[in-house]
Amino acid sequence: MSHFAQLDENNIVISVVKCDNDDPNGDEGYQWVLDNIGGRWVQTSYNNNFRKNYAGIGYTYDESRDAFIPIKPAEGNYVLNEDTCRWIKQEL
């Protein structure tokens, strides 16, 4: 199965869908989401850390890092780990 994240105009994930890999066109479901749902889509995967993290609703897609970044926790002092694109709590 292929997974795709739908992005809004600010690159925030608003939906994640699963598509069939047996697409005869070889696009692994990408054209299906365009034709049937519309919008802007970026492929994601939880099996191989493709684009650093599996996309979740509310995550941001950072084009320069080609990565999905989780929502920053509201409480505490967090910095983004550039290697994993995950938030790490910093002790004060």
The pLDDT tens digits of the residues spanning 72-89 come to 999 989 999 999 999 999
From residue 36, alpha-carbon distances to 39, 52, 81 in Å are: 10, 27, 36
pLDDT at 25: 61
pLDDT of 26 strictly over 90: no
Closest CA to 6 of 43, 31, 36, 32: 43
Question: Is 61 within 8 Å of 40 (Cβ atoms)?
Answer: no
Gap between the Cα atoms of 71 and 4, Å rounded: 18
pLDDT at 66: 96
Residue with tokens 């990565």: 67
> What is the residue-averaged pLDDT of the chain?
89
